[in-house]
Homo-oligomer: A and B are copies of this chain.
Amino acid sequence: MAIDLEYDPHVVTLIEKTRAFTRDYVLPIEDKFVGNVADAGGDTCRVEMQAAAKDAGVFAPHAPVEYGGHGLNMSDRAPVFEEAGYSLFGPIALNLGAPDEGNVHLLAHVASAAQKEQFLAPLAHGDVRSAFAMTEPAPGVGSDPSALMTTATKVDGGWKIDGHKWFITGADGAGFFIVMARTSGKPGDRGGATMFLAPADTPGIRVGRHITTLDKAMIGGHCEVFFEGAFVPDENVLGAVDEGFTYAQVRLGPARMTHVMRWLGAARRGHDIAVAQVAKREGFGSVLGDLGMIQKMVADNEIDIAATRALLVQACWALDQGSKAGNETSIAKTFAAEAIFRIVDRGIQMCGGMGVSDDLPLARLSREVRPFRVYDGPSEVHRWAIAKRAVGAAKRAARDE
């Protein structure tokens, strides 16, 4: 019981193995998809990479040991996920990408034994992919959870789901959905939501178009999904009825942090590439990397990387102590999403024309990381939540005086 920042030797080993696997095996595969990282190579590529990850002993570091994973807590996931994120394809190869990784986390904490067998086990092993069907087009649920419009109506033996979701990551090709639907109340009410487990082949579930976005590397895309009288049996209610947002919290904080871990890895790759370039290119009578304005960008990247990592350590430790860590994860996510974008953007600038071209991966990385300032809560919503806590505490303190 004193400050200790040293990882256990078995974690250190896993970090190193993950680094080697990502750089030696995964990156060359990603590089073959230049100009077309859409879908991260698709499921064929995924299955092949995941088999290799199992052979290398690096598969599913976060999944429970009984489901073939390494059972790492949040603190230990941070450096491992960062290494996997060094390639855009790494998270898929190690089965720790969004949304599957968050769904594994959620199911491990909330699912019944039977649900675990039916849904968690194949997901953890990489036999299927999944999707988390929450977001709806305006005026539906987005940053403001109370706006939920999709309904689940009680019918004999189960529930009938109707609604329109979009930006459902990984929907195309998912084996099942975790669907958030309203079981009581009306849009504007904060409660009344329930989570359902719905196999993708359920009649009345239809995956629509891929919404094309700046980022391309998410397997299964960001899709529209239509629920048209889709029947889900009672045993597929995840947790208790009307408690959906409570469980969403279980997933939310950790999922924010694992996003940060992965994108930090991507940002570091961008930084490494840019530093390697300026360390060898010459101009104005000097190696570029010895020029002050370039040094400033290099240093600012190093600072942003260190601060992101340091905030991750704090937030993950709070989560591991059992806290919801709403403030810690909002702070870390907001800082990280902006820092990660800056890091890659500076990397582009350091590389000039090469930086904006596909001759280096920087332009691609910048497209991939930009949406993170919007996904998982826009920076503005997190700042609002952070400020509400601080100002609210000050209001209470003033009242108590």
Q: Give A residues with C-beta under 8 Å from B.
A: 1-9, 11, 35, 75-76, 135, 138-139, 142-144, 147, 166-167, 211-215, 222, 272, 275-276, 278-284, 287, 289-296, 298-300, 302-303, 306-307, 309-311, 313-314, 316-317, 320, 327-328, 331-332, 334-335, 348-349, 352-353, 355-359, 363, 366-367, 370-371, 373-375, 378-380, 382-384, 386-388, 390-391, 394-395, 397-398
A203 to chain B, nearest CB (A): 28
Complex alpha-carbon distance, A147 and B7, angstroms: 42
Are A279 and B395 CB-contacts (below 8 A) given A35-B212, A387-B295?
Answer: yes
Q: Can you list 10 A-B contacts with CB-CB less than 8 angstroms, sorted by A residue number?
A: A2-B11, A3-B6, A3-B7, A279-B398, A289-B394, A302-B386, A302-B390, A306-B332, A307-B310, A348-B370
Query: Are A299 and B3 in contact, CB atoms less than 8 angstroms apart?
Result: no
Add 16 more A-B contacts to A139-B281, A289-B395, A306-B311 (CB < 8 A).
A2-B8, A4-B4, A139-B282, A212-B357, A213-B358, A214-B367, A275-B394, A279-B394, A280-B398, A287-B395, A296-B383, A296-B387, A299-B384, A309-B314, A313-B313, A366-B370
Residue of B nearest to A34 (CB): B212
Query: Are A5 and B3 in contact, CB atoms less than 8 angstroms apart?
Result: yes
Collect the chain B residues with CB atoms within 8 Å of residue A358's CB.
211-213
Query: Are A328 and B306 in contact, CB atoms less than 8 angstroms apart?
Result: yes
Which of B289, B384, B388 contacts A293 (CB under 8 A)? B384
A263 to chain B, nearest CB (A): 14
A176 to chain B, nearest CB (A): 23
